Structure 1
Amino acid sequence: MSHIIKGTVVATLLCSSAFAQHTISVQIVDQNLNPVPFVTIEFNKVNLQSDALGKFTISDISNGSYEVYINEQGFVPFSKKIIVSQSQNLKLTLIHDHSYTLDEVSVIAHKHDFKTTNTQHVDQKYVRDNYGGSLAKSLENMAGVNASGIGSAASKPIVRGLGFNRLLVSENGLKQEGQQWGADHGLEIDALNIEEVEVIKGPATLEYGNEAIAGVIKIKNNQIPFKNSTQTNVGIMYQSVNDNYVTSANHQARGDKYFYKIKGSYSDFADYRTTTDRIKYLDRWMPIYKNRVKNTAGEEFNLQGQVGYIDQKIRSILTLSNYNQKTGFFPGSHGIPSIDRLGHDGDYRNVDFPYQKVNHFKVISENEIKLSTKDQLKFNFGYQRNLRQEKSAFHTHYGNQNAPTIDPDVELEFALTSYDAQAKYEHTHNKNFKTIIGAQTQVQYNNISGYNYLLPAYDRNIYSGFIIEEFQKNKTWKVTAGLRYDYADFKSEGFFDQTLADYLIENNYSAEIANYYANRSENISRSFSNLNGMVGATFQPNDFWDFNLNIGTNFRLPTAIELGSNGIHHGSFRHERGDATLDTEKGYALDFKTTFHRNDWDISVNPYLYYFTNYIFLKPSGQFSILPHGGQIYQYTQSKALLTGFEAEINKRFSKEFEAQMVYEFIYNRQLNDHNNLSYFLPFTPPNSIYTRLNYTVDKSLSFIDNLTFGLNGKYAFQQNNIAQNEDITKDYFLLGASVKANILINNFKATLTVQGSNLLNKNYYNHTSFYRALQLPEQARNIQVMLNIPFGK
């Protein structure tokens, strides 16, 4: 009876004839063919809901045309006209709020992404399958992405040779704020619990502003769980290269409108293995005991909690996270190496001086209100506190310096507090025209401590506004244009080192010279303003070709280290000195990408060009520091610079079981003098490289094993001859890797087991962008990684 009543009601509302005769069975799935449960479907303005398997059925439907509309959070709005002339089974596919998704091997580009930005997406599955000990290492096989490694558990991302403060990393809309300028510490992100990463390359980053020159690594940990669902995932992992034991867990649940998530991970690792038993510092050989890099052990403990509310008009998510890491510094990389400091201490898992401790606490509030069908308001708030300490047993080069009474072993401490507020209003004039208006502000305080000195305490405030217009013509053309204005003020405290002044005078230096070196930093009060613009276009003439072009200006505010540093940076083996007169780094950028996709082929070519009018870099001054172990003074300065290159990518599926990928990266850059003549190359430039990967999946279940997949990959990096001042040439190398992955199904138990090996040939090689490259310390030895993920849920 209820079936007949439901059919009658639906038939009446649809104004169909009195003689209904057909049944329509529909299942809602995502692009991976996973059911999307409990979705609200608008069927000719009648609201229905799918069940736990994403299915719903409508009976007694007459011949005719019917409109289906689905607007589910986390998916692209879906609309379709269904012609009913007989009973039928339908499968409707919802696309997540992006269309380009990088899976285990290839970029699936057949679903057109009608955006003007040059983007690639990876999900949690990709990060776990490619896990390299840190987020940047897990992403470095993507086109244009590299990593500057710092030991086995930390790294910094580099895009097209630009990193540090030229690459912006954000989480849930909040810019990650730490001490990005430093080469000797990594990105404070829990890689194992990331839900999705979007890499935006080129100048189409107007909305993000300062430091987004190379692009944006956009981390999304705000996916909405399915309605009335509960899901838990537990992961355990072992890495042989550093005897790393990792556990991770995440749990999420949602009723109708409320949801929550809890995530955590813990890692405990030992000194990592390398492929040599000695290193050379200057003209001295020093031992590496049993190929283990001393004091590179550590531990990492991370927690994240999230609560949210969602309905048809409001979405509000509150996220709290706390990242903690303690890692040792290789004694040969901190100060002047000595044979005594490199001797084995009998324990591969202990962390001794020198070491660093990092704590990063974040609060992110995301809010979205649909004011009407055409108007949407978003406002986000964020708080971050990044505390980084470098600890080393108190030592001094000055006979008159006493140990601090509090925390005597803290050599350097940086405590950065950041407050962010953002508002964005979107108005859709019609299906072809959209306006986005945004305002942003950031307030920062950076306090310092420790018995050494490197950079001053400072305050920085940034106020920004932007407008973006989006125009679309049919499904062929889309044009985006925008303007952005930024105003910033920067204030730092001067510092006079009386202890140093006294020491120099005692060593027969004149008072003038002593005061010059002891005046470590002046009081700085500067303001900066910038007006930037961007225009981008996407042209899709047919189902086989995509063309994407972005042209714009970009900028970066000079950092405190560039403006006010003056001291020995032990992690970089040099005396670094800032320049308080540096101007905002500015430039122009062009990014063009063309993609061909037909049948089982996806081919893309992506050339780009950056021109800087005043690139900021460290330059050997030719002046030697009189500070003990100071060496040559490196001075921050500016010059014109050019950076260009291209990325080419081919993905091919030969059969249902076999697929392949190849990525080629070429990069070239130079400093330019006042007459635009070529000068030195820019530092930390990745070499040109070719990466290939093959995957074969067994197309049938084997006992309790399903989806058994074998993978083989190789990377060839060309010799890097294009080196900056005081860099060494890095020889070419080839790395071989392999993997085996399978789903394990035993009764109601389900798990995914992944075994992968990297550097299987145990190659002795140097990564040109590695922090330890300056010491001629090779990269990590062969690594076998075993990961087991166990999902629970309904």
Structure 2
Amino acid sequence: MISRYILGLILLLTIHISFAQSSLELKGKVHEDSGEPLQAIVSIHELGKYTVADPDGNFSFKGLNEGVYHLHITHMGFRSYSKNVSVTQQRSELYIILKPSDILMDAMTVEANPFKNGPLEQSQTILIVDREFINKNNGGTFANSIEKLPGISTINTGVGISKPVIRGMSFNRIVVNDRGIKQEGQQWGADHGLEIDPFDVDRVEIIKGPASLMYGSDGMAGVINISPAGFMQNNEIELNYSGFYRSNNDMYSNSLALDGNEGDFVFRGRLTTQDYADYKIPADRFSYAGFILPIYENRLKNTAGKERHFSLMGGVQKKWGYSTITVSRFAQNAGIFVGAVGIPNSYNLRSDGDFRNIDIPNQDNSHLKVIWNNSIQIGKSWMEVDLGYQKNQREENSFPHNQGVGQTDFGNLALGLDLDVYTANLRFNKQHNEKTQSIIGFNAQKSINQKSGFEFLLPDFSSFQGGLFYFGEYKALSNLVFNAGLRLDGASHDIQEHLQPLYQNGRPTGELDQRNPDIERSFGNFSGSAGMSWVFMENFNLKFNFGSAFRIPTPIELATNGIHHGNFRHEVGNANLDGERSYQFDWNLAYSKPKFLITFSPFWGYFDQYIYLAPAPRFSPLPGASLLWEYRQDNAIFSGFELMSQFNPIKNLSFSLALEYVHSQNLNTGLPLPLTPPFSSLLGVEYKLPEFSGPIGEIFLFAEYRSVSAQERVDRNERITPGYHLLEMGLGWDLKVRNQAFKFQLSGQNLTNEVYFNHLSRYRLLNLPEQGRNISLSLNIPVSLR
């Protein structure tokens, strides 16, 4: 019903604005302090249009309606520039001066808000990376590609399955937006990866800290915005090939994309395949429940996988905005280490001689998305509407007898989860005057989950949640900006009772065990935030943000009661959980010069009735399980900091340093919260070889050294993890042959083949170390077809 009303509104507004306004032109000139012109890239964000200034620095956009537009101007070796511009009948020319900078991060424009009109939320700590960063740090999954950013960690289950962590928090405390729609795909599970094709990501904006105001209840810890590439210019068509290889698990990745613009019609398509074998670890044995078990040929049996992804986009780009529809599907079939389901023994760990086959147990995941994005001009203001449908299907297969179950009607399907999600977002942005702009909007989401399989973890449920918000920004001075907003959230969960058949010696007893009763819960509350951004003494930028967020308990937290094999534990929900409230402070101080940048970002947050999964002081009564873990609520504090710096002492030479630390404290038990990442530092150096510039392209060398401290601050029954050190080195080569570009990169990870444990890895519970030495090779070839 909501979708119908929004669709009708879009059609009426489109008809109105198509005939209402005349065509205007926006002209300007870009140059540096000395007056020298720059051939900068200039883009209008709302329209998805861009152009390149001519050799004299001149640029223009024709066929515009009267209104307010947000410009982005970027040029290599200069700080990025953004500006709100009012286009009227009185034609005026812009004169834009770019300031020089050797710092790569200065070349990225900040646009971290769901409505992409203006630099809102400037008071928060925001990290931005582009496709070049993702390609350079490709770890096989999208989450692994961003974990080198300070404050970002990952929870891994072997290789190919990972999910992001922001400042020690993950799961339903992080919103991942893909093309404006919140990704929904069983993100409550540590072994449920983020189902995003890493090759289908062009730009990522990461908001660290409370972001529930415009993104909803799940944005308590932060938001990851994933954006596609901007539209091609008119009559341009480009074909792009990306290839990737990793030696440790013999991973082969191939991705082919076609991107074009024919008149007012824009289109894009991508197809990605990824296949990998059992991965290698620098160990030949591991311990489980007091037993020492073998690892044959240093390969972890049944950790191979294959992936097939595609996305298709088509739409129109007009002077009133744009409208596009994207259909994408992420499909993954991955083996699960045999020791993760049931009790491992020397027999089932023995190699079968085929490192690429996917045996039982395994997981088969499919995530289909249909997204309709609209940016529409209404007078001098802009409205953005995003509608989405997602179908997430997850199947976990294992042998019934391994779980103490006899023959069932489900065959080897242990757990099936089928989730349908309908999403509607609407935001209206109004530029009141040169100093003030505001956003009003709402989000609505309907979720329906159905289960199958001979095991039980999560019952059938339907859920609805939505929110209304207002956000305003006031530019008190040219260097001082204030913002604030309020949000009202509501949700209801209808969770069905589940009766699980009981078995004895693999035979059904005819008795039923009530794993969870019928549960109907409703929640509602307010959220808010306020902040400021102050640029003083020209080179300093101080940001401060205070936010109070409200998080709604999820069905998994209320009603789960079964063995979660990916986590090697029996998890039990709590139907009486209350909503979670946080009060969070976030600071950011940046000092920037043309050759030096340093940012320091401390944070502190108090969480009232923090919901978490903690080990209980007793064992599970279910076969194949170990300790019992329960969802609880306690008051807690999260605090810490991130530090990031870059120094370019001479041309072509760059040093970088990133530090991150998270301190968690359970105020009720006096102990740390479980799964808190340890202190980590990442030191990097990069050098471009000037003597190779010219006809044979550009070559650069880089090295990174990560040092991770031991994590000794652990919860009750949680293991201490020793510290470790990792070395990565590589080289890249950007080559042109007859105007055809080629991009190569060769790199090596964990070059010392160190035996180490990731504190957040699910296989850490089995005393299994992470991957050993790994050599990676990537190739990118963009081909202009017109």
What code does the residue aligned with 1:117 have?
Q
Q: Is the 8 A contact 2:342 2:403 kept in 1?
A: no
Structure 2 counterpart SS, 1:347: coil
1:336 aligned residue: 343
Structure 1 counterpart SS, 2:432: strand
- Work out the CA distance in 2 between the residues paired with 1:781 and 1:212: 35
Displacement of 1:314 after TM fit? 2.0
2:223 aligned residue: 216
2:481 aligned residue: 478
- Work out the CA distance in 2 between the residues paired with 1:80 and 1:565: 53
Structure 1 counterpart SS, 2:333: strand
Report which stretch shifted further, 730-739 or 552-561: 552-561
2:286 aligned residue: 279
What code does the residue aligned with 2:334 have?
T
Structure 1 counterpart SS, 2:135: helix
- Structure-2 change in CA distance of 1:77 and 1:315 (3 Å): farther
Q: Is the aligned partner of 1:466 residue 2:473?
A: no
Structure 1 counterpart SS, 2:400: coil
- Work out the CA distance in 1 between the residues paired with 2:72 and 2:236: 15
Alignment of 1:180-195 (within 5 A): 180-195=187-202
- Work out the CA distance in 1 between the residues paired with 2:466 and 2:223: 19
Displacement of 1:684 after TM fit? 1.6
- Work out the CA distance in 2 between the residues paired with 1:441 and 1:496: 32
2:271 aligned residue: 264
1:341-367: CA deviation from partner (whole Å, max 9, x where unpaired): 111011000000000010000011111
Structure 2 counterpart SS, 1:290: helix
Alignment of 1:88-107 (within 5 A): 103=104, 106=105
2:552 aligned residue: 557
Show structure 1 runs of 5+ residues with no match. 1-12, 15-23, 41-48, 59-68, 82-89
Count of aligned pairs between the two proteins? 727
- Structure-2 change in CA distance of 1:656 and 1:194 (3 Å): same
Displacement of 1:439 after TM fit? 1.2
2:259 aligned residue: 252
- Structure-2 change in CA distance of 1:34 and 1:26 (3 Å): closer
1:437-490: CA deviation from partner (whole Å, max 9, x where unpaired): 111110000000001111111100012100111111121211111110111000
Alignment of 1:739-778 (within 5 A): 739-778=730-769
- Structure-2 change in CA distance of 1:575 and 1:457 (3 Å): same
What code does the residue aligned with 1:626 have?
P
1:416 aligned residue: 419
1:107-131: CA deviation from partner (whole Å, max 9, x where unpaired): 6589997722321110111100011
**Percent identical:** 32
1:63-103: CA deviation from partner (whole Å, max 9, x where unpaired): xxxxxx9958876457699xxxxxxxx996899xxx99995
- Work out the CA distance in 1 between the residues paired with 2:39 and 2:688: 19
- Work out the CA distance in 2 between the residues paired with 1:102 and 1:261: 32
2:396 aligned residue: 390
- Work out the CA distance in 1 between the residues paired with 2:135 and 2:357: 27
- Structure-2 change in CA distance of 1:688 and 1:100 (3 Å): farther
Alignment of 1:780-791 (within 5 A): 780-791=771-782
- Structure-2 change in CA distance of 1:560 and 1:166 (3 Å): same
Q: Of residues 425, 450, 453 in structure 1, which corresponds to 2:428?
A: 425
1:531 aligned residue: 526
Q: TM-score, normalised by structure 2?
A: 0.87
Q: Is the aligned partner of 1:448 residue 2:451?
A: yes
Q: Is the 8 A contact 1:606 1:648 kept in 2?
A: yes
Structure 1 counterpart SS, 2:407: coil
- Work out the CA distance in 2 between the residues paired with 1:102 and 1:408: 57
- Work out the CA distance in 1 between the residues paired with 2:148 and 2:50: 39
1:360-410: CA deviation from partner (whole Å, max 9, x where unpaired): 00011111111122x2211110000000000112326557x4321xx4111
- Work out the CA distance in 1 between the residues paired with 2:51 and 2:176: 38
What code does the residue aligned with 1:727 have?
E
- Structure-2 change in CA distance of 1:56 and 1:697 (3 Å): closer
Report which stretch shifted further, 491-500 or 257-266: 491-500
1:21-42: CA deviation from partner (whole Å, max 9, x where unpaired): xxx996899xx977649x89xx
Q: Is the 8 A contact 1:26 1:55 kept in 2?
A: no
- Structure-2 change in CA distance of 1:258 and 1:56 (3 Å): farther
Displacement of 1:232 after TM fit? 1.6
Displacement of 1:171 after TM fit? 0.6
Structure 1 counterpart SS, 2:556: helix
What code does the residue aligned with 2:742 have?
A
- Work out the CA distance in 1 between the residues paired with 2:530 and 2:86: 32
Displacement of 1:206 after TM fit? 1.0
What code does the residue aligned with 2:541 have?
D
Displacement of 1:571 after TM fit? 2.1
- Work out the CA distance in 1 between the residues paired with 2:630 and 2:84: 56
What code does the residue aligned with 2:408 have?
A
Q: Is the aligned partner of 1:379 residue 2:382?
A: no
Q: Is the 8 A contact 2:584 2:605 kept in 1?
A: yes
Q: Is the 8 A contact 2:103 2:596 kept in 1?
A: no
Structure 1 counterpart SS, 2:558: helix
- Structure-2 change in CA distance of 1:100 and 1:248 (3 Å): farther
- Structure-2 change in CA distance of 1:368 and 1:73 (3 Å): farther
Alignment of 1:28-107 (within 5 A): 36=41, 54=54, 76-77=82-83, 103=104, 106=105
2:567 aligned residue: 572
Q: Is the aligned partner of 1:297 residue 2:292?
A: no
Q: Is the 8 A contact 1:102 1:121 kept in 2?
A: no
Structure 2 counterpart SS, 1:774: helix
What code does the residue aligned with 2:514 have?
N
Q: Is the 8 A contact 2:684 2:705 kept in 1?
A: yes
Q: Is the 8 A contact 2:39 2:57 kept in 1?
A: no
2:408 aligned residue: 403
1:178-232: CA deviation from partner (whole Å, max 9, x where unpaired): 1111111210000112010000011244100111111001101152222332212
Structure 2 counterpart SS, 1:686: coil
2:79 aligned residue: none
Q: Is the 8 A contact 2:110 2:128 kept in 1?
A: no
Q: Is the 8 A contact 1:718 1:731 kept in 2?
A: yes
- Work out the CA distance in 2 between the residues paired with 1:629 and 1:665: 37
- Work out the CA distance in 1 between the residues paired with 2:752 and 2:263: 52
What code does the residue aligned with 2:615 have?
P
The structure whose Rg is larger is 1
Displacement of 1:543 after TM fit? 2.1
Alignment of 1:534-545 (within 5 A): 534-545=529-540
Structure 2 counterpart SS, 1:207: helix
Structure 1 counterpart SS, 2:348: helix
Structure 1 counterpart SS, 2:772: coil
2:592 aligned residue: 597
Structure 1 counterpart SS, 2:697: strand
- Structure-2 change in CA distance of 1:74 and 1:220 (3 Å): farther
- Structure-2 change in CA distance of 1:36 and 1:533 (3 Å): closer
- Work out the CA distance in 2 between the residues paired with 1:101 and 1:254: 33
- Work out the CA distance in 2 between the residues paired with 1:186 and 1:783: 21
- Structure-2 change in CA distance of 1:505 and 1:694 (3 Å): closer
Q: Of residues 127, 149, 154 in structure 2, which corresponds to 1:147?
A: 154
What code does the residue aligned with 1:178 have?
G
Show structure 2 runs of 5+ residues with no match. 1-23, 59-66, 74-81, 88-93, 112-118
Q: Is the 8 A contact 1:28 1:54 kept in 2?
A: no
What code does the residue aligned with 1:682 have?
L
Q: TM-score, normalised by structure 1?
A: 0.86
- Work out the CA distance in 2 between the residues paired with 1:412 and 1:537: 48
- Work out the CA distance in 1 between the residues paired with 2:460 and 2:278: 34
1:207-263: CA deviation from partner (whole Å, max 9, x where unpaired): 001111110011011522223322121011211011011111111111342211011
What code does the residue aligned with 2:780 have?
N
- Work out the CA distance in 1 between the residues paired with 2:473 and 2:101: 20
- Work out the CA distance in 2 between the residues paired with 1:619 and 1:711: 41
Q: Of residues 719, 727, 749 in structure 2, which corresponds to 1:728?
A: 719
Q: Is the aligned partner of 1:586 residue 2:581?
A: yes
- Work out the CA distance in 2 between the residues paired with 1:739 and 1:295: 30
Root-mean-square deviation (Å): 3.3
Q: Is the 8 A contact 2:201 2:228 kept in 1?
A: yes
Q: Is the 8 A contact 2:325 2:371 kept in 1?
A: yes
Q: Is the 8 A contact 1:27 1:55 kept in 2?
A: no
Q: Is the 8 A contact 1:320 1:364 kept in 2?
A: yes
Q: Is the aligned partner of 1:698 residue 2:693?
A: no
- Structure-2 change in CA distance of 1:748 and 1:429 (3 Å): closer
